[in-house]
Amino acid sequence: MKGDRVEIVVDAGDTTRTYEVVASRAGRRVETAVRRGVVEVSEVTRSGSVVRTARFMATRVLALVEQPVPREEASEAAEKSRPLREDPET
């Protein structure tokens, strides 16, 4: 979902580097996968097409932080879409 992001902290020898992959448009999501010693973070469209990918050696990754956008519950969304009622007594 737009706004979802994943931060990757990588050991770069004498320092650390932080990379960020963000779902930049509506309908996109960020997926993570760890395969054969490689951490892969991808921005994916609704249809499943990969827009961009970041790959890192798993032995160098210090932290992988997923930060989803807070989702509204169905009841909260219904309340926001409902118009305000005026009190007839006033």
**E strands in 1-90:** 5-11, 16-22, 29-35, 38-44, 50-57, 61-67
User: Is residue 57 domain-resident?
Assistant: yes
pLDDT tens digit sequence for 35-86: 999 999 999 999 989 999 999 999 999 999 988 877 776 555 556 666 666 6
User: Is residue 22 domain-resident?
Assistant: yes
User: Is residue 59 domain-resident?
Assistant: yes
User: Is residue 88 domain-resident?
Assistant: no
User: Is residue 87 domain-resident?
Assistant: no
User: Is residue 21 domain-resident?
Assistant: yes
pLDDT of residue 25 exceeding 80: yes
pLDDT band at 90 (very low <50, low <70, confident <90, very high): low
Q: Write out the residue range of the structural domain in which residue 11 sits.
A: 5-81
N-terminal to C-terminal alpha carbon distance within the chain: 43
- Looking at the structure of the chain, the number of domains it has is 1
